[in-house]
Amino acid sequence: MDCYIDSDDTFAFIAGYTSGGAPYGTTWEELGLEPFASQEEIDAAYEKLSY
């Protein structure tokens, strides 16, 4: 699925990688979702986030 191009089992969105190769970004846990949730669930979770 295209909506999972920059994600994995830990990260809903991988923003980038450290110089050592470790990914960083927004985790599924931060969004309150299980990995590989539907695009609608992801969109709703991002709308609820407060930074």
Nearest CA to 24 out of 7, 42, 36, 40 is that of: 7
At residue 1, the pLDDT reads 42
For 1-51, the pLDDT digits (tens) are 456 678 899 999 999 999 999 999 999 999 999 998 988 998 899 898 876
Nearest CA to 26 out of 9, 8, 13, 40 is that of: 13
29 CB-near residues (< 8 Å, 6+ apart): none
pTM, two decimal places:
0.74
At residue 6, the pLDDT reads 86
Q: Rounded to an integer, what distance in angstroms lies between the CA atom of residue 48 and that of residue 19?
A: 31
